[in-house]
Amino acid sequence: MKRSTQLIALMAALAAGSASAAGTLAGTTIENTATASFEDPANAGSTLNSTSNTVQTVVLPKPDFDIVYTTSGIADGNTLTSTPVVTTGAVPGQVIETPYSLVNKGNTPLDIVVNADTTGSAAGATVRYYRANTDGSRGAEIPAGSAVTVTADNPTTGADEGIVKIIQVITLPTDPALISPTSVFGASPEGTVLGTAGADPLVTPGNGYASGTTVQEENKAVNTDLQFTRVTVFAPALDNNPNTNPGTPVDSAGNPLPPASVPPVTSVNVPTEVVGKPGDNTPVVSAPGYVTPAPTTPPATPSPVPGGATDPTPGGTPIATNVAGDEQIAYPTADLNATPDRVVFTNTLTNTGGTTDVVQLFPTLADGTPDPAYTFDPATGVFTNPTTGVTIRFLDPVTGEPIKVSTDPNNPTVAQYPTVTVPNGSTVVYRTEVTYPDVNDSAPIAPVTVLIGADSLKDADLVSNSNTRNTILPPAAQFGDATGAQGAEATPAPIQTVNPNGPTSGATSPDFTDATATFPMDVVNNGQYNDSYTLSGTVTLIDAVTGNPVIVPVLYYAPDGSLLPRVSNDTASPDYNKFITPVVAPGTEYKPVAVIQVPAGTRTGDYTVTQNAVGNYSTIPMTDTNNIIRVAPAGSVAVAKFVAKAGVVAGSNPINTIPNPADYTATGATGAKPGDNISYRIIGKNTYNTSVNGFFLSDTVPANTTLFSVALTPAPSKTIYRVTPVGSTTAGAWTTTAPTGLAAGTKIDVAVDADNNNLPDALAPGATLSADFIVTVN
C-alpha cells in the first residue's frame, strides 16, 4: 500500500512538471567546522575565537530520469499515430515547437543524451532540440545526440532544480517533392544516460548507473517511453525573415529602396561562444564564426560572426543573424542606468504568391495568432506588453516613422495592424524597434524574445503565414563572497585572521598561523551571453614600526590553485595587478580565490579589502568591500577536526600541528548514506605560553544531518553544555545535560567544569581538549 501511494505521488508530480529527489543530493558535501573560544591571554576580559579545518563527507548517488511533455495532463508512451499532440495546417518550411521537460527523478546530476525518434514520419523534415528560455521561448541549440546535464532536485529548497525544459523543433521541408497536403511528419525526443559508476562507488561514484551501460528513460525498454508530436501541412507564399541582402528590396509601401537604406549583412562582433569544461581557456571552435581567443588575450574578446548586422541607430547594438533558424540575436552592452533600453532590428518579408500582397505585421504566438499579451495603439503604432514592459514598433526603413495601418483596396479584409505592400517576387524591408525595461545590471535577467508574424490580407483569417524571431540577450552580473548555491553573498562580512610573522601560502591558507588571507569569491553571469571579467583589489595596511600605510594588491587564483592570467605582465603597468577570469557562460558562476599576502611587521587590527570586477564585453562594474583581514597578536589556539575512518594510523594526517587519533582522518572520509552516522573528533590545543581562560569547544550541526551525541573524551569529572538554537544568536545557559536530536544549524558548546562554578575552566599551556561529535545523515 505504501509503494502505491508513493507511485501516485510521483505521477502527480510529473504531471505538474516537477521532479522528485531521492533523499539528500548525491555529491552533497556534508561540511563541519569546529571553533574554540577563550579569554585573550594578552587582554583579560576579551574573548578570542579559533576555527578548525573543515571536514567533508559526500552523499552517494541514486539515479532515475524521464522525458515528459511540459504541458501537464499529456501522458507519454505514445506513437506518431496515437499522440494527442497534433499541429494541423503547417506550411512548407514551418517550424513546430513542442515543449518537453528532462526530469531528474534521482539525487545525482545526470547527462541525458537527447535523440529524435521519427518512426512513421515522412522524410525531409529536420528535428532539432533547444534549451527553453525562462519565458518558454527557444534558447541555445542542443547538438544532435549530445548530453544535457540535469541537476537533481534539492529537497531543502522551494525551487525544483531537477528539471531542464527543452523545445523540440521540427522544421518542415520546402521541396515540393517532399511535401504535400497528405504528408504527415512527426518526432519524439528519446533520452538515454551512459552509466559512469565504477565497481566501488565510494572510490568512483559516477552517476550511479553501472559504467558503460546505456540506460533508457525510467529504466524501460527501448522505444517504449516516447512522446510524439504529429504535423500535417499545406503551402503558404510569404517568407518573413531576419535581415538579409534582398535582391529586390522595397519599402513599406512597395516602392523600390535605394541600396544605402538597407543595412548590409556582413559580419559583427559578438561575445565569444565556447564549449568544454567550465573555466577552460583552450581555443575551441564551437560553431562557424565563433572562436575562443587564445589564453594570452581576454577570453571574451568579441569574435566576428558572419551574416550579422548592426542596429541602424547611432552606437547600434551588434546583431547576429541566424537565417537557418529564422532568428536575429542582439548582444547589447551595459548602459549602467535604469532607463528603458532599445534595439532596432532589420527584417525582410518576401512574397512569392504570384501577385502583389498586402501583409499586416504583429507580435505573434508560435501558432501564428496575435500574441494576446500585447495591446496595440493604432494612433502611435506601439504594441505594449503591460506585464513585461516590452514595447514594439514597426518602422519604415527610409523615414524611420511607424508603419501605419492600411487596407488592400482590392480585398474586403480589414487590416488591424501595421501593413506593408509586397509586389510579387519582391522583398519588403522593415525595422522592428524593441524597447524593454532595464531595472539593474545585477539580478538575473531573461532574454527578450519577440516573435513577429506576417498575415496576408488575401486570406480570411488573422493568422500569420510566416514568423520570424528577434531576440535580445541582455547582460547582468554579480560579484561577491562565495556561496554554496549560485549567487554571490554581500553579508555577513567574512573575516580572515592572519599572523603577519608567519609563512605565506598560495590559494589555500591552511590556518591562521600564516600571513596569507584567502577569500573565496563568486563571479556570477546573470546575463544571457558569455562574458569574462577583469578582477582587481587592494587593502591598505599599517606598518607597526613607521605607522605608514602599505598598499597591498589582491591576487586572484583559479579554483585549481593556479594564478589567473594578468592583463599585463609588465610589473610597471597599472594593469599588472588586474586578472582575467575564463569565459563564464550565461546562468553560471566562476569561483576565483582572492589572496592577500600580509607583510611582516603589520600593525594588529582589522583591515577592509576593496575588490572590483568588470565585464570585459558587457562593461558591468561591480565592487565588494566587506572582507576583513584581522591581524592577530602572536600565539594562538589550534583547533583540528577529524572524521572517523577505520584503519587510519594515528599521526598520519596531522592538522594545525595536531596529530590525528587512530581511526580518524581529516581527509578522504568514506561516503555516508541517509541514515548513517558520521563521527567527528574535535581537538583544541593551547599553543600560547600561558593558560587561556574560559576555554570551550563549539560545533554546529551540519546541513542535511541531525545531532546524535556530543561528549568530551576522555570524560572529565564534570562536563557542561550550552546550546544556541537555529536562527538565534543568543546561547542558552550552561547545563550538565548532554544534548541530542538537535536539527541542522544548531550550535553546541562543550567545556570542562572541574571547579564546579558552572563556567568553562582554563586550558593550561600545551594542553588539549577533545570532544566527540556524532551526527546522523538525514
List pLDDT tens digits, range 191-243.
999 999 887 777 778 888 999 999 999 999 998 999 999 998 644 467 888 87
Beta bridge partners of 101: 68, 165
Full 3-state SS string of 603-628: CCEEEEEEEEEEECCCCCEEEEEEEE
Distance CA 579, CA 554 (A): 10
Whole-number average pLDDT of the chain: 84
At 20, which amino acid appears?
S
Identify the helix (H) or strand (E) that includes residue 343.
Answer: strand 341-351
Average pLDDT over residues 80-102: 86
Q: Any idea which of 425-434, 515-524, 635-644, 720-729 has the lowest mean pLDDT?
A: 635-644
Distance CA 489, CA 497 (A): 20
Higher pLDDT, 387 or 322: 387
Higher pLDDT, 406 or 278: 406
Residue 362 CA, chain-centre distance (Å), reads 33
pLDDT at 306: 53
* 279 confidence band (pLDDT: 50, 70, 90): very low
Higher pLDDT, 93 or 46: 46
Asked if pLDDT for residue 413 goes beyond 70, the answer is: no
Residues 643-674, buried b or exposed e (16+ Cβ, 10 A)?
Answer: bbbeebeeeebebbebebbeebbbeebebbeb
Residue 106 CA, chain-centre distance (Å), reads 20
pLDDT at 764: 80
- Counting DSSP H helices and E strands in the chain, the numbers are 1, 50
Write out pLDDT tens, residues 170-189: 998 878 678 776 889 999 99
Write out pLDDT tens, residues 443-461: 888 899 999 999 988 765 7
pLDDT at 314: 65
CA distances from 62 to 152, 209, 532, 611 (A): 10, 8, 35, 41
Question: Beta strands 495-498 and 477-481: pairing type?
Answer: unpaired
- % of the chain exceeding 90 in pLDDT: 52
Residue 329 CA, chain-centre distance (Å), reads 21
Sequential DSSP letters for 423-470: -TT-EEEEEEEEEE----SSS----EEEEEEEEETTSSS---SEEEEE
pLDDT at 200: 78
What SS3 class is residue 262?
Answer: coil
CB 526 within 8 A of CB 567: no
The cell for 317 is 547594438
Write out pLDDT tens, residues 473-508: 999 999 999 888 887 776 667 888 888 777 887 777
Write out pLDDT tens, residues 15-53: 334 555 567 887 777 888 888 887 877 787 788 888 888
Burial class of residue 718, CB neighbours in 10 A (0-12, 13-18, 19+): middle
Asked if pLDDT for residue 536 goes beyond 80, the answer is: yes
Asked if pLDDT for residue 277 goes beyond 60, the answer is: no
The cell for 363 is 507580435
pLDDT at 303: 57
What SS3 class is residue 6?
Answer: helix
Q: Any idea which of 245-249, 565-569, 707-711 has the lowest mean pLDDT?
A: 245-249
CB 721 within 8 A of CB 715: no
Asked if pLDDT for residue 676 goes beyond 90, the answer is: yes
Contacts of 177 (CB under 8 A, 6+ apart): none
Full 3-state SS string of 402-431: ECCCCCCCCCCCCCCCCEEEECCCCEEEEE
Distance CA 556, CA 312 (A): 40
Question: Beta strands 318-322 and 309-310: pairing type?
Answer: antiparallel
Nearest 5°: the CA angle 671, 674, 675 is: 110
Identify the helix (H) or strand (E) that includes residue 250.
Answer: strand 249-250
pLDDT at 169: 96
User: Would you give the DSSP letter of residue 326?
Assistant: T
Residue 52 CA, chain-centre distance (Å), reads 31
- Rg of the chain over all Cα atoms, to the nearest angstrom: 32
Other C-beta atoms lying within 10 Å of the C-beta of residue 623: 13
Full 3-state SS string of 144-181: CCCEEEECCCCCCCCCCCCEEEEEEEEECCCCCCCCCC
Question: Beta strands 427-436 and 249-250: pairing type?
Answer: parallel
- % of the chain exceeding 70 in pLDDT: 85
